Amino acid sequence: MSVVVLALMVCVFSVTTGEFVIAGILPDIAGDLAVSIPAAGLLVTAYAIGMVVGGPVLTALTSRFTRKPFIAVLMVVVVLGNIASMLAPSYAVLLVARVVSSFVVATFFANAVVIAASTAPAGKQASTVAKLALGMNLATILGAPIGTVLGHEFGWRSTFLAIAVCAAAGLVLIVWLVPTGARPEVASAVTELRVFGRREVQLAILMTAVGNAGLLVVFTYFAPLLVEVSGFASRSVAPLLLVYGVGATVGNLAGGWLSDRALMPSLVALLSLLVVSLLVLWLVSTNPAATAVMIFVVGAVGFSVVPGMQTRVMATASTAPTLAIAVNASAFQLAAAFAAWLGGRVLDSGFGLRSLSLVGAAVTVAGIAVTAASWLRDRRATQATAGSAAGL
């Protein structure tokens, strides 16, 4: 692994931990700031909306900036946003701090991927980007559990302090190790934004958003689900997040392998398997041992679709690669925003935490429908092209 990729990976680890760790400390924040768990869940929604809005717009408007100083500035914003979260005296201030932090994350991801790929040897771009993505996996396996332990032992504010320190370390590594490079030559912001007008891109974004939303309905309320339904002690949430993260890493690697061989068929099959996994989780959620097993399975199956969905978005928006990656991150965050809102409405309606697995399965069925429709559109286009060629 090159030192450039290592520097970027540390940054990816810190910002992804900042996103995912909320699931583990949600009850702590709710109790300390005197808000309900559904209200605390809106911190996930706010973060997601910041990424959805900030990602495509900021990426398009800054696509001509020299990448190294630009991503350094973005990491400064991440550091300050987490410090503000740590010091937040009220729920409203914490909400604003989360939005400020999230606004730059998708743009950072997009530029980091392009930088990593540009430094890779010929023919090694994909594997280099995969190494960069390891930062996301490590955030799930180590960052979120460690952040949860810190939150339980020293208060949730200590979690945001740790993230700020990690992000600051990543900033130092960027300044030290990442080459400045030339100013990128790209089309205008308006030209890049036109990629959203393509039907294939629209379907790819919708596929990413809806296909991930079902899993995120459950993950957003992960901690209270495990404690109040499955009967785990609060201290068990962090180890179970680790189990989930290991499953996610295994699933991410397996999903990438499958997607390389049959992209759309594998996505339909994996989403179908996710529906089954969520239904099984609902059935066994009152049994701690069985729930622990299903946490690994759901993590693996849920993350197995991520590489294929990212590949699909980049392929359909090939004329604007940096923007395409930002769009993919925004689509995922749109799913997180919807999931947090939907989960909160379900709980407010009195259906209980256990029902979230059923709701997640139903939302994933909608993701299968979108994916199948996109696949069918591809097949029709292929058949039409073949027919035209035969006519010639």
Q: Name the residue with tokens 């959620």.
A: 285
The amino acid occupying position 355 is S
Tens of pLDDT along 233-277? Answer: 888 887 888 888 889 888 877 887 787 778 899 999 999 999 999
Question: With contact defined as beta carbons under 8 Å apart, do 237 and 61 qualify?
Answer: no
Half-sphere exposure of 26 (CA within 13 A, CB side): 27
Minimum mean pLDDT among 174-188, 228-242, 318-332: which range?
A: 174-188
Burial state string for 319-332 with b = 16 or more CB within 10 A and e = fewer than 16: ebbbbbbbbbbbbb
Cα dist from 158 to 42, 97, 242, whole Å: 20, 15, 19
Check residues 131 and 369 and name the one with the higher pLDDT.
369
Task: Identify the pLDDT of residue 78.
Answer: 93
- What one-letter code names the amino acid at 292? A
| Amino acid identity at 23 | A
Which residue from 345, 182, 340, 212 is spatially nearest to 278, judged by alpha carbons?
Answer: 212
Closest CA relative to residue 326, chosen from 79, 18, 61:
61
pLDDT in the model for residue 128: 65
pTM of this structure:
0.74
Whole-Å CA distances, 196 to 137, 205, 206, 255: 29, 9, 12, 26
pLDDT tens digits, 276-309? 999 999 999 999 999 999 999 999 999 888 878 8
Among 136, 109, 18, smallest CA distance to 326 is for 109
CA gap 162, 252 in Å, rounded: 26
Separation CA 382–CA 371 (nearest Å): 17
Find out if CATH 1.10.357.10 is the number for domain 3-385. no
Q: Which two tokens stand for residue 7?
A: 């520097």
